[in-house]
Amino acid sequence: MKFRPCIDIHNGKIKQIVGGSLLDRGDCAEENFVSTHDGSFYGKLYKKHQLSGGHIIILNPKSSEYYEADVKEALSALRAFPGGLQVGGGITDENAAFFIEQGASHVIVTSFVFSDGAVRFDRLRNLAQAVGREHLVLDLSCRRKNGEYYIVTDRWQKFTDVVLTEDRLKELEKYCTEFLIHGVDVEGKGQGIDEDLVRILGAYSGNPVTYAGGIKDFEDLELIKREGKGKVDVTIGSALDLFGGPMEFERVLSHCD
């Protein structure tokens, strides 16, 4: 189990938010933490500790007045750690190559691929052609509905008709090199992980998988290690001391090493 760091950007600031509170209307979100540092600070920190494979998420839509400020912060982090970080948020086959050229190791995609409630395999193929499968991460962040986990899009606001299962992961793995999965129902709440979701991820063997959502303490890390069978990597947001939480960054690194 590896630790994968994160940089979440909203309204031009590095933040930690409650995932389910994010709204495009008014660029609103319930905030847990707003950093006084910029993207380059975190990029340099992660580079210092050789924490490759972390993700930058641009949380405002392209239509937002804050989108360009978000991109500026993302680029400052990428340039501080070239080849070490992934970037997602508004990625399409038209701009994916730009972020790779700016230093992203991978681009992370959800909404462009999961359109009108279904998987657009033609768009997956276009993305692979634009940047290569080896530079593509699928974000399969999901919310529970009727006892199953449905992939959600548009900054976690819209349900698709696609249920996250082990078979679905197997179907999609040939189009990308990794999966990133936020448990949106618990994201940013600091009340514990989504154990059922982690079990689904632990049953899967294939591409590397990173889980994010609800981690509050080191017991949760042990739970992910056990239920994820040691195969599921982790991201910690609001609970990390870098973002105002109680979990010490250095201890997390030692625990996940």
Give the span between the Cα atoms of 76 and 242, in whole angstroms: 18
Q: What is the reported pLDDT for 19?
A: 63
Most confident of 26-40, 152-166, 234-248: 234-248
- State residue 223's pLDDT score: 96
Helix or strand holding residue 69 (H, E)? helix 67-80
Distance CA 53, CA 40 (A): 16
- Over residues 176-233, the pLDDT tens digits come to 999 999 999 988 777 899 999 999 999 999 999 999 999 999 999 999 999 999 999 9
Using alpha carbons, select from 70, 124, 72 the residue that is nearest to residue 93: 124
Block residue for tokens 């129902």: 185
The domain 6-256: what is its CATH number?
Answer: 3.20.20.70
Out of 19-33, 144-158, 190-204, 222-236, pick the least confident. 19-33
